[in-house]
Structure formats: structure tokens, C-alpha cells
């Protein structure tokens, strides 16, 4: 059973008012008790008001005003917008709850990481699957599993239309949006990835081949343009000892958000980032850069 939160809630300002800000970030941060939604800022004030009003939070007239209202900033915006604003927020001494990827390219991701290093602020990535108990149980079991090879996929049809068929996703495709999740899990479950090769078109289907430090080889299939009954995320590890499988089909992602919120608040209050910090984001961005076909 999770212990009750006895500390002060962390005042978190939210940047963004799109579908992910509405359906996850704002709702999670406002639910507390570890955090409170201290304000919302977006380039479209009317969209920011719609998100903020649902939780009785103020709307910031500018990004600087949002920084004045909060001690931490959560980002739910396209990678290029996040990379620019995160640098400013880090230099202002605000903790950062960052989406993946850190930026649209490696140079922008490095700029965020350098700003964090210079300021010493706490950071955490919204690698959502990492906060689910089933994922953690799989990764714990994988530490003792000697994999010879692995197959994985992250597939859905959200880019075909609807709220999440946003311009940056349609431009960059599944590699930047879905790739960080699979590369993160393969790197942890199989062993550190030392090289990645990508083939295909990230806007439709891209196949990654990863070579791992321990000699294992893994593959990852990524697409946001295949129509399925539900999103499919699956990892299969194979070795002399048998096989080990992780599948998100039966998990409830709502279980991720309380864990994410508490761990971020704890990191802010203790001043110690977890392993899902900006350095992890930069490592994943380096792998994404290698994977570009």
C-alpha cells in the first residue's frame, strides 16, 4: 500500500493545451496530493483557458508568468517547442517534467541536457510505460534472463486521424514518437544498445535492428498508421533458458499516473532525479539519431 503524502504539494505549471495536456498532464497534476496544477500556458489563450478552467487553475498570460507561478514545469507540446522552452525553464531554476523525445533532433536535445547540467535542476521523463507495475516486474525478471535475441513492436493507427494525428507526429512519424519507448525497454531488458540501424519510412513503418553490448540482437517494428483494435506494445526475449514476454494488452495505463506523479514530486522535494531523467532522454535521442534511415 502506498504511504500517504505528507509534504507540500509541488506547484507545477503546464505548458501546452493539446489532447495530451487535456487527457493526461492536467488531470494527473491536478489530482494530487503530491502536486497541484499551478497554471497553464499555451500559445492559444483560449485553449489554455479550456484546460485550466476544468481544474480551477489560473491561465498564465506568458511563459514567464507561468515560471513565476510554479516551482516545476510539465511539457505537453511538440518536441521543438519543448526543447526551446525547457532550456529557459531550466535556466530559471525550475524542475522539468519532460516528454519524449527531448527535441526534434540531437542538437536540440543536447541543448536541453546542457542547460539542465548547468542549472542542476531535477528532471524526469514521461516514459509512461516505465511507471506501470507490470513493466517494472518484467524489467526485474529480464535482469536475470540471458537474451540471445529479441523482437518487439509498438503499433497503432492514431496517426490516421483524430486528436493525436498532430503535425509533428505526421512529419516525423513513429520513430520519434514511439521509438523512445521501445528503445528504452530494449536497452534495459536485453542490455545496453551499442548501435541501431533503421529501414523503412518512419511516417508509415520503420524497422530497427539493435546490436547490444552483450552480443544480442533485437528488432523493433514501429508504426502509427496501421489500423488495429487497440495499440500493441510487445517485447519477446529469447535465449537458451526459454523466452520472456512483455505485452501491454492487458494493462491499465491509468495505473501509471499516480506512480509518475509521486516519483516526480519526491524527486523535486529531495533534489534527486531518478534514472528516467534528462540524461536518459539524451541517450535515447542519440539512439534515435542513429536509427534515422
Cell numbers standing for residue 36: 497541484
- The CATH number linked to 74 is 3.40.50.720
- The CATH number linked to 138 is 3.30.360.10
123-125 vs 95-98, strand pairing mode: parallel
Helix or strand run (H / E) with residue 257: helix 256-270
Digit-coded pLDDT (tens) for 123-173: 999 999 999 999 999 999 999 999 999 999 999 999 999 999 999 999 999
Q: How many beta carbons lie within 10 A of that of residue 122, not counting itself? A: 24
The proportion of the chain whose per-residue pLDDT surpasses 70, expressed as a percent, equals 99
**Do 62 and 84 touch, CB atoms closer than 8 A?**
no
What is the structure's pLDDT at 5?
85
Q: Assess whether pLDDT exceeds 50 at residue 1.
A: no
Number of domains in the chain: 2
Enter the pTM of the model: 0.96
* Cα distances (angstroms) measured from residue 204 to each of 169, 200, 224, 263, 289: 11, 8, 7, 35, 18
Residue 229 lies in a domain: yes
Examine the domain organization and report whether 266 and 201 are in the same domain. Answer: no
Residue 66 lies in a domain: yes
Digit-coded pLDDT (tens) for 200-233: 999 999 999 999 999 999 999 999 999 999 999 9
**Per-residue pLDDT band at 249 (split at 50, 70, 90):** very high
Residue 83 lies in a domain: yes
- CA-based torsion, 87, 125, 41, 21: positive or negative: positive
DSSP 8-state assignment for residue 25: I
Q: Assess whether pLDDT exceeds 80 at residue 272.
A: yes
Domain that holds residue 40: 10-128+255-277
Examine the domain organization and report whether 14 and 97 are in the same domain. Answer: yes
* Cα distances (angstroms) measured from residue 210 to each of 8, 102, 129, 183, 194: 43, 21, 20, 9, 7
Digit-coded pLDDT (tens) for 173-186: 999 999 999 999 99
Amino acid at each position: 500500500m502506498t504511504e500517504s503524502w505528507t509534504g507540500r504539494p509541488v506547484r507545477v505549471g503546464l505548458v501546452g493545451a493539446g489532447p495530451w495536456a487535456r487527457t493526461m498532464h492536467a488531470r494527473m497534476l491536478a489530482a494530487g496530493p503530491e502536486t497541484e496544477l499551478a497554471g497553464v500556458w499555451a500559445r492559444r489563450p483560449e485553449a489554455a483557458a479550456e484546460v485550466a478552467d476544468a481544474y480551477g487553475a489560473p491561465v498564465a498570460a506568458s511563459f514567464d508568468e507561468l515560471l513565476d507561478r510554479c516551482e516545476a514545469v510539465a511539457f505537453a507540446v511538440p518536441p521543438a517547442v519543448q526543447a526551446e522552452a525547457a532550456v529557459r525553464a531550466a535556466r530559471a531554476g525550475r524542475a522539468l517534467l519532460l516528454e519524449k523525445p527531448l527535441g526534434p533532433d540531437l542538437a536540440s536535445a543536447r541543448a536541453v541536457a546542457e542547460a539542465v547540467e548547468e542549472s542542476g535542476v531535477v528532471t524526469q521523463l514521461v516514459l509512461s510505460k516505465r511507471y506501470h507495475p507490470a513493466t517494472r516486474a518484467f524489467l526485474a525478471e529480464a535482469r536475470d534472463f540471458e537474451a540471445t535475441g529479441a523482437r518487439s513492436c509498438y503499433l497503432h493507427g492514431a496517426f490516421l486521424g483524430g486528436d493525436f494525428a498532430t503535425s509533428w507526429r505526421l512529419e516525423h512519424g513513429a520513430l520519434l514518437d514511439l521509438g523512445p519507448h521501445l528503445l528504452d525497454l530494449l536497452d534495459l531488458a536485453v542490455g545496453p544498445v551499442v548501435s541501431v540501424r533503421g529501414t523503412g519510412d518512419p511516417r508509415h513503418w520503420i524497422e530497427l535492428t539493435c546490436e547490444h553490448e552483450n552480443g544480442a540482437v533485437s528488432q523493433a517494428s514501429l508504426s502509427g498508421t496501421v489500423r488495429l483494435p487497440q495499440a500493441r506494445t510487445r517485447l519477446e526475449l529469447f535465449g537458451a533458458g526459454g523466452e520472456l514476454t512483455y505485452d501491454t494488452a492487458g494493462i491499465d495505463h491509468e495505473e501509471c499516473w499516480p506512480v509518475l506523479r509521486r516519483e516526480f514530486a519526491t524527486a523535486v522535494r529531495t533534489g534527486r532525479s531518478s534514472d528516467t531523467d534528462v540524461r536518459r532522454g539524451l541517450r535515447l535521442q542519440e539512439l534515435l539519431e542513429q536509427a534515422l534511415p
